[in-house]
Amino acid sequence: MEDKKIIIGNWKMAPKTPREAKAVFQNIRSTAGKLRNVQTVIAVPYVYLWELKKLVTGHRCVVGAQDVSFEKDDPHTGEVSAEMLKNVGVEYVIIGHSERRAKGETNSEVANKVLATVKKGLVAVVCVGESERDDDGSYTTFVKTQLSESLEGIPKRYIDKVIIAYEPVWAIGKKAKKEATTEDVLEMSIFIRKVLADMFGERKGISIPVLYGGSVNQKNVFSYINGCEIDGLLVGRASLKPSAFATILEVANGNT
C-alpha cells in the first residue's frame, strides 16, 4: 500500500466555463496543497487541461485526464494521445471508466490505452466494477475478467504506473441505486489485491494501489477511508463541490 492516500477528482463533463473550472481548481488546491499525506489529482475535461496545468504549484495537487487514445501518429480526428498529455504535463489518466465502457469501450481497448499511457511514463487509473450484484457472487468473476483483460499485455516493469479504481456501477453517479457499504468495498479491495497478486506475483501485485469510487461524499468518506483497506478514492460529483471535497481530502489526510 502507498503511504499517501490518492484522491482523484473526476469532473466528467463539467463545469461549463473555464472561469468556473479555474475557481474550483484554485479552491481545491488551497486545501490539497497543505496536505502531506494525500496525493490529489483532478481529472478535468481536455479543454481545461492547459489552463489548469498553469495553476499547479508543487506536487500535492495536480491535473489528470479522463481518457486517452491508444493511437500513435496517424490521423485520428478528435483523439488525444498519451504523448500529447505528457507534453502538457499530465501525469495521471483515468482509463475504462464505466461511462466510457457503457458507450462500447472494451477491455481490449482499455488494455491498449493502458499500455500507451504507461509506456509514456504516465500513471493509468484503470476502472473496473460490476453493474449488478447477484447472490451467487458472479460479480467477482466479472471483475476478475475485467482486471485480467484490461491489463493484458502490460509488462511487469510498468506495474508501478498502474492504479486500480473499483467502481461498482450501481453505486456511481446520480443514477446510483444505493451506496456501497464498507463491507462491500472491503470484500472487493481484498479480492482485487488477490487477483493482482495472482497476475503479477505477490510483491508487485500487492503494491498496486486500489481505490474506491462511487457516491463518495463528506459523510461517508471516513468509513471508506478507514474501513476498507483502500489506498484512496475516485470522487465524481463531490469533487466539484470545494467544501465537500475539502472534507474528503482532510479525512484522507487523517485530520478528522
Q: Give residues in contact with ligand PGA (CB under 6 A).
A: 10, 167, 172-173, 176, 213-216, 234-237
Q: CB count, 10 Å around CB of 156? A: 11
Q: Is 59 a catalytic residue?
A: no
Least distance CB 41 / ligand PGA (angstroms): 12
**Least distance to ligand PGA, CB of residue 73, Å:** 31
CB 60 within 8 A of CB 33: yes
177 dihedral zone (left: phi>0; alpha: psi -120 to 50; beta):
alpha
Q: Which C-beta is closer to ligand PGA: that of 84 or that of 176?
A: 176
Burial class (CB in 10 A: 0-12, 13-18, 19+), 86: middle
Residue 222 Cβ, how far from ligand PGA at the closest point, in Å?
Answer: 16
User: Of 162, 169, 166, nearest to 192 (Cα)?
Assistant: 166
Residue 74 CA to residue 64 CA, distance in Å, equals: 24
**Cβ proximity to ligand PGA, 205 vs 231, nearer residue:** 231
Determine the Cα–Cα distance for residues 199 and 219; give it in Å rounded to an integer: 35
Q: How far is the CB of 77 from ligand PGA (least distance, A)?
A: 27
CB 56 within 8 A of CB 32: no
Q: Which of 97, 99, 130, 179 is catalytic?
A: 97
Q: Which three cell numbers stand for residue 98?
A: 464505466
**Sign of the alpha-carbon torsion through 190, 196, 198, 203:** negative
- Spot the catalytic one: 99, 167, 179, 250: 167
Residue nearer to ligand PGA on the CB measure, 98 or 200: 98
- Nearer to ligand PGA among residue 90 and residue 199 (C-beta): 90
CB of 116 to ligand PGA, least distance (A): 21
| Cα–Cα distance, 109 to 139 (Å, whole number) | 21
Would residue 130 show up in a list of annotated catalytic residues for this protein? Answer: no
Q: Which is nearer to ligand PGA, 69 or 98 (CB)?
A: 98
d(CA 36, CA 21): 24
Residues annotated as catalytic (active site), given as ranges: 97, 167
